[in-house]
Amino acid sequence: MQHRIVFSDIDGTLLNKQRELSDFTISEIKRIKKTIPVILISSRMPSAMKHLQEELEITNQPLICYNGGLILVDHKPIHSTFIDTNIIEKLNLFNKDKSFHISLYHNDDWFVPEMDFWANREMENTKVTPVVKATEKVVEDWKISQKGAHKIMCMGEETYIDKAFDFLENNFGDTLHLYRSKPTYIEVAHKSISKLTAIEKLLDFHFDIPIADAVAFGDNYNDIAMIKAVGTGVAVANAKPETLEIADFITLSGKEDGVATYIKNNITE
């Protein structure tokens, strides 16, 4: 199977136990990057991915952000799908007692209602600083500029996140994709997009490479579709059981440089 292009998830897949790129990972991607494009694909916002691109010296390559909700080529959007402000208003009204945190993202903007525990933890994980602005004000501004959320992140105690999940599923299940990355988190995106839809768009319109010649690395539920569809789907050893089950290959865990190990053993320049 040819490996003409690489797609890699970030969190749980590409980063080590310090949530950083290891020297081994950096050296292996630098080794192949001149002849094989390496594309980062994540639920993260662009700013939380660009510093990794810089370390890997692949800033010339596209970025797939927000699980496929935003695709950047030459640092400009070629595809953008976001959640309507009416849904954000209803979610905010449901959360009127502020039982859980709501983060709103559009392109490189990240808005939080306050710098609480959840905002500070996410800032530490992604190395991006949010803008503090009331959700109502963000919605008001977005209505004027005809924008919406590429991603909504709900964070809080599990009991409240359970209730938020049920509210969103029951009221907007046909419009939204709800991804429970951990018991205290819900990542919310538009249902029409996924990592796979973004890969298909990039391969068809930018690279002209068949999906059979692509290799993709991932660990979680939102990686399953792309791992199944590409020519070579690789799961890291710490992946969810459902992800491990459908993968063509299983490499070492993310914390043990699983992506770099696979590249070293299977991809020549």
* pLDDT in the model for residue 180: 87
Give me the DSSP letters along the chain.
Answer: ----EEEE--TTTTS-TTSS--HHHHHHHHHHTTTS-EEEE-SS-THHHHHHHHHHT-TTS-EEEGGGTEEEETTEEEEE--B-HHHHHHHHHHTTT--SEEEEEETTEEEESS--HHHHHHHHHHT-PPEE--HHHHHHHHHHHT--BSEEEEES-HHHHHHHHHHHHHHHTTTEEEEEEETTEEEEEETT--HHHHHHHHIIIII---GGGEEEEE-SGGGHHHHHHSSEEEEETTS-HHHHHH-SEEES-GGGTHHHHHHHHH---
Ordered domains of the chain (ranges, CATH): 5-80+193-266 (3.40.50.1000), 85-190 (3.30.1240.10)
* pLDDT in the model for residue 269: 74
Q: CA–CA separation, 167 vs 34, rounded Å?
A: 47
* pLDDT in the model for residue 1: 66
* pLDDT in the model for residue 125: 86
How confident is the prediction along the chain (269 residues), in pLDDT tens digits per residue? Answer: 689 999 999 999 999 999 999 999 999 999 999 999 999 999 999 999 999 999 999 999 999 999 999 999 999 999 999 999 999 999 999 999 999 999 999 999 999 999 999 999 999 988 899 999 999 999 999 999 999 999 999 999 999 999 999 999 999 999 999 988 889 999 999 999 999 999 999 999 899 999 999 999 999 999 999 999 999 999 999 999 999 999 999 999 999 999 999 999 999 87
